[in-house]
A and B are shown apart, each in its own frame.
Chain A
Amino acid sequence: PDHLRFIRSYVSLQNARCYSVKHLSVQERIEKKRKAALTGGGQLRIAAQHKRGKLTARERLELLLDPDSFVECDMFVEHRCSDFGMEADHNKYPGDSVVTGQGRINGRLVYVFSQDFTVFGGSLSGAHAQKVCKIMDQAMMVGAPVIGLNDSGGARIQEGVESLAGYADIFLRNVMASGVVPQISLIMGPCAGGAVYSPALTDFTFMVKDTSYLFITGPDVVKSVTNEDVTQEELGGAKTHTTVSGVAHRAFENDVDALLNLRDFFNFLPLSNKDPAPVTECHDPRDRPVPGLDTIVPFESTKAYDMLDIVHGIVDEREFFEIMPNYAKNIVVGFARMNGRTVGIVGNQPKVASGCLDINSSVKGARFVRFCDAFNIPIITFVDVPGFLPGTAQEYGGIIRHGAKLLYAFAEATIPKITVITRKAYGGAYDVMSSKHLRGDVNYAWPSAEVAVMGAKGAVQIIFRGKENQAEAEAEYVEKFANPFPAAVRGFVDDIIQPSTTRKRICRDLEVLASKKQTNPWKKHANIPL
């Protein structure tokens, strides 16, 4: 074919011209390319990047990874576009618009890609996608997480369908890697259009406040289509996605803060689905009593308290990495450690909307539980739930199918599951919150626990409708049901424990359950009510 002939003649020409200094010439070219790759889009663009308050792709990797641990891959890859003058030498950048490779975080292997905004605005070319796919494939084979640092203007328009194909190639790998190795996206600049679906498919999406955006279409298109006036920040800034949409799991102050926190977060994660949850050195005594817990639950069942006080009291060193702290705050989820071992925490938050389950909190909880189940992270569930939130907004929004997701996630999970009922466990929500019936391994009740179909007042109004002496009936109901005994006598809770001993009990149970083996029936895949 023509192009082969062309290459052959080009090579022979080169050989002929530089035969005597051939070795040096290649060496020089290598050096030159390497140098070019290291400076990305050049000093001017780097300065502009800094001026925006953003670090360069390489600076980010340097901070994220252990010193000198980064091993780069595909530094010499260049884009292959030959239209619109793209074939010109000055439009070729070694490595193109992404830096890829592997490195270590506190000694543990991780595959990374970091999009380089200084090269064509970080836009995604076929070569860019190919580089990302290569490290993702390898990460899956090796069994190591993938961290993507996103900072890209979108598709490389000059490349047309090749760029779109590139996105799809990445999406496919995101899906294939899902549940095999942890995937984390840190959005550190724009991420718009089709590009957003890669972070959306990963396990965790973090954002940098004020400098990162995620949207399907930008403000200009929104204006022309729907005539809405909206700023970038309002449409897809960190605040929007961490409080309103629930697309992002957490936001950090700036690049440095985000990357340091990401290092910290990485310590919680196993490397793959074959890896157990990591165990670190723990200075917090496993049998430490937590006296404050004996008094935390107020006597009046209408009074709120902060579930985070319980979580902080129980986990190692009060350290809790909360996921989605500002979204659906009526449920608390996140990672912590018990005696050094990573655990997932799920807890109803009585302080917000009484800790009820609604659409958003169900979905938030379900996704977290499924992540933990996929990666062998035991789950500790703290229950104080008055039920599902009633109302047309919830019913029309489909609380039935969304609530089912949380139920599904808990039921399907085969990791160690420990449940502590701190106060209310009412109605269907009791069943959902990792109850014994959904294969909870160890279910505890605090003395303040009330497991019942509903609160006393409502129940009495139904049972004794139209009868007098409602107050007396209510007292009887409270006596009968507003305590842990109905559940305990049936074995639906394994024990009623003194709250201050909760940490000790859980640490001991986790040791026992470390060798738990449980499998679900063979299936192609399950059918969660999406």
Chain B
Amino acid sequence: RTISTSSCLELIRAGPRGRHVVAAIPPAAPSSNPPVHVKVADEAVCVGPAPTSKSYLNMDAIMNAIKQTGAQAVHPGYGFLSENKEFAKRLAAEGVTFIGPDTHAIQAMGDKIESKLIAKAAKVNTIPGFDGVVKDAKEAVKIAGEIGYPVMIKASAGGGGKGMRIAWNDEETSDMGFFLSGHISDICANGFCWCLQVLADKHGNALWLNERECSIQRRNQKVVEEAPSTFLDPDTRRAMGEQAVSLANAVKYSSAGTVEFLVDSKKNFYFLEMNTRLQVEHPITECITGLDLVQQMIRIAKGYKLQHKQSDIPINGWAVESRVYAEDPYKSFGLPSIGRLSQYQEPLDLPNVRVDSGIQEGSDISIYYDPMISKLVTYGKTREEALKKMEDALDNYVIRGVTHNIPLLREIIVHPRFVSGVISTKFLPEVYPDGFKGHMLTAGERRELLATAAALYVAAQLRSQKFLGDLSRQWELCVELDKSVHMLGVSRSGNNYTVEIDGEKVEVSGEWNLASALLPITINGKHRTLQCLLRTAAGEISLQYLGTSFKLRVLSKLAASLSKHMPEKVPEDTSSILRSPMPGSVVAVSVKPGDNVAEGQEICVIEAMKMQNSMTAAKTAKVKSVHCKAGDTVGEGDLLVELE
């Protein structure tokens, strides 16, 4: 019996090998929403309420779950307790196998300073800098001056970008001084971040499984990863690999681990840190090496020797991973969003596409967990092929009900700079200095989009006219996109539409299945997959095209000409007043005057008919006044809270 405290991916792959797998789940899950990993697991056990501090991060709860199910091993996944030495210790005390490295290695590598010292001793390149604790801001400025700007200041515990700050001058360094104690300073160029996968068993054997290029990041979190890297030559790769292996040997590492290197533009590489766990982006390494890392981890934990030699580890083709998040990419490259996945369809029918996800149609993306929807991995013989597959996969990925970052992912992978392989950790801020604005249409693309909207409109109109028998063949339409209006002529023969836009002809053909979320069509002989997000009786059509969603309005020539008489409307702002929608009692008020609330945030809870209804803010604003308190009885329409 293996207990898994992470998403379902590990289970899916651990399960079929005859192991009994138990999924650890919080109760929010079994009730509203049994996650996928419960379905693929043999058994599920509840470890506590939805907030992770009370479930996946609650060691007592997990230890209980282990006792309850009689599990012999725990796979900790990637977050939560995966790098917690206490947890590993407690498991050892109970005689339960922790599928991961032993306590010593976790501890040694978990401390940024100790890890540096060990690395130095193991003859691993370390960054010129101060490997120690900085006492105060003054000392930090002094050290930074010696190393030369820019410097990176990092909290000595914490990974995944947590506690990392970059300072470009004395002022910034001293500003960071107040939280400096217990930090070290490193050099940080406009660099690359490479992760070298290592695998070591309990018998002193270790392998390196090539690098992963993880430089595309936002807020120090990875967005797009690939393996191998475009920048690395075989010699450097080997040198890095050998150093990584010697580091693993130095700490008597066993299990899968990742050694992170920073690389400057001259291909000098420096040890940054070692993650003593499976990493989120491990599938791309699996794709190019053919090794199943989770299986290897379980084998190693059981005490088996590695089956492979270094010479057995290939680089076969190219793999790219996009992290699909429930977040709004138009706000700081991604602010989390929540909601219910009203429609969800993974592009699994495409070849060489792998999707690791823990959700399904109907799942709620809640505030309790990481907003990651899935890891979308594509594989090809060459980088070009893998990226083309990724384009198709993103176009065919149907996500409705939450805002997602596919527009951004779709833009990154076709950006000339990304395609040419000139990637750095500053890719996003450099390429989109004013923030991400969605795909910018070229004139040709604009025509394609207009033509598709027009053809879709006509297809829908024609279906309505099936009562009529005699179907129109010629249409004059007026299509609005980004406030500019185009007159289009459409003629039809069968499923083929010829759309004339400003004298140019665009041929659009397709199945025109009006029920499908996907719209696979051929435009001027080119195959494209668009998605129809919205189609209303009043001619509004939203299309996802090249990743970005565009709003159009299609009207007949008559309706468009009459529309000019329609009054302009100023939308009435009712979002700043929250009224009770029903009589009931106030159970809780979560805000007070002066608080800042985000759109959709809970403001108070009203109980009526023994049911709790959460009242949420209709916009992001400051709370002006609160007119109710817990325990109050309110009537329908009573003012509860006013926002500014």
What is the CB-to-nearest-CB distance from B476 to chain A, in angstroms, rounded to a whole number? 11
Across the interface, A283 reaches (CB within 8 A) one of B341, B515, B613, namely B515
Given the interface contacts A62-B558, A291-B362, does A303 sit within 8 Å of B32 by beta carbon? yes
Complex CA gap A290/B463 in Å reads: 24
> Quick check: A107 and B516 within 8 Å, CB to CB?
no
B232, CB-defined interface residue at 8 Å: no
Residue among B31, B469, B537, B581 with the highest chain A CB neighbour number at 10 A: B537
Given the interface contacts A106-B468, A292-B362, A391-B583, does A353 sit within 8 Å of B608 by beta carbon? yes
Classify chain A's interface size.
35 or more
Classify chain B's interface size.
35 or more
> Quick check: B567 and A53 within 8 Å, CB to CB?
yes
Known contacts A256-B538, A295-B34; 16 additional CB pairs below 8 A are A106-B467, A107-B465, A253-B538, A253-B569, A254-B566, A257-B538, A264-B537, A292-B342, A299-B30, A303-B32, A304-B613, A330-B582, A353-B583, A354-B609, A354-B611, A455-B610
A130, CB-defined interface residue at 8 Å: no
Given the interface contacts A63-B559, A106-B465, does A352 sit within 8 Å of B567 by beta carbon? no
B562, CB-defined interface residue at 8 Å: yes
B565, CB-defined interface residue at 8 Å: yes
What is the CB-to-nearest-CB distance from A111 to chain B, in angstroms, rounded to a whole number? 17
Residue among A211, A256, A284 with the highest chain B CB neighbour number at 10 A: A256
B514, CB-defined interface residue at 8 Å: yes
The residue of chain A having its C-beta at the shortest distance from the C-beta of B517 within the complex is A318
Question: Which residues of A are found within 8 Å of B33, using beta-carbon distances?
Answer: 295
> Quick check: B362 and A296 within 8 Å, CB to CB?
yes
What is the CB-to-nearest-CB distance from A320 to chain B, in angstroms, rounded to a whole number? 12
Across the interface, B516 reaches (CB within 8 A) one of A52, A281, A283, A298, namely A283
A379, CB-defined interface residue at 8 Å: no
Complex CA gap A391/B469 in Å reads: 56
The residue of chain B having its C-beta at the shortest distance from the C-beta of A394 within the complex is B583
Question: Which residues of B are found within 8 Å of A353, using beta-carbon distances?
Answer: 581-584, 608-609
Question: Which residues of A are found within 8 Å of B361, using beta-carbon distances?
Answer: 290-292
A528, CB-defined interface residue at 8 Å: no
A329, CB-defined interface residue at 8 Å: yes
Complex CA gap A351/B582 in Å reads: 11
Question: Which residues of A are found within 8 Å of B514, using beta-carbon distances?
Answer: 283, 317
The residue of chain B having its C-beta at the shortest distance from the C-beta of A291 within the complex is B361
Across the interface, B566 reaches (CB within 8 A) one of A53, A66, A67, A282, namely A53
A395, CB-defined interface residue at 8 Å: no
Chain A, 483-511, contact with B by CB distance < 8 Å: what is the 0/1 string? 00000000000000000000000000000
In chain B, positions 65-116 with a C-beta closer than 8 Å to chain A are none
Per DSSP, are chain B's interface residues mostly helix, strand or loop, or mixed? loop
A356, CB-defined interface residue at 8 Å: yes
> Quick check: A267 and B464 within 8 Å, CB to CB?
yes
Complex CA gap A278/B463 in Å reads: 13
Chain B, 611-644, contact with A by CB distance < 8 Å: what is the 0/1 string? 1111000000000000000000000000000000
What is the CB-to-nearest-CB distance from A63 to chain B, in angstroms, rounded to a whole number? 6
Complex CA gap A82/B569 in Å reads: 43
Complex CA gap A389/B614 in Å reads: 19
What is the CB-to-nearest-CB distance from B74 to chain A, in angstroms, rounded to a whole number? 26
The residue of chain B having its C-beta at the shortest distance from the C-beta of A458 within the complex is B610
Across the interface, B31 reaches (CB within 8 A) one of A253, A299, A312, A387, namely A299
Complex CA gap A261/B536 in Å reads: 8
In chain A, positions 71-112 with a C-beta closer than 8 Å to chain B are 104, 106-108
Complex CA gap A313/B318 in Å reads: 39
Complex CA gap A281/B33 in Å reads: 34
> Quick check: B559 and A260 within 8 Å, CB to CB?
yes
24 contacts between A and B (CB under 8 A): A55-B562, A55-B565, A59-B562, A62-B558, A63-B558, A63-B562, A108-B467, A210-B567, A254-B567, A261-B537, A263-B464, A281-B466, A291-B361, A295-B34, A295-B363, A296-B362, A299-B30, A304-B611, A309-B342, A350-B611, A352-B582, A353-B608, A354-B582, A391-B583
The residue of chain B having its C-beta at the shortest distance from the C-beta of A282 within the complex is B515
What is the CB-to-nearest-CB distance from B605 to chain A, in angstroms, rounded to a whole number? 11
The residue of chain B having its C-beta at the shortest distance from the C-beta of A390 within the complex is B609
The residue of chain A having its C-beta at the shortest distance from the C-beta of B467 within the complex is A107
B238, CB-defined interface residue at 8 Å: no
What is the CB-to-nearest-CB distance from B463 to chain A, in angstroms, rounded to a whole number? 5
The residue of chain B having its C-beta at the shortest distance from the C-beta of A296 within the complex is B362
> Quick check: B583 and A356 within 8 Å, CB to CB?
no
Question: Which residues of A are found within 8 Å of B565, using beta-carbon distances?
Answer: 50, 53-55, 255
B563, CB-defined interface residue at 8 Å: yes
A28, CB-defined interface residue at 8 Å: no
Residue among A63, A211, A278, A391 with the highest chain B CB neighbour number at 10 A: A63
A302, CB-defined interface residue at 8 Å: yes
What is the CB-to-nearest-CB distance from A509 to chain B, in angstroms, rounded to a whole number? 20
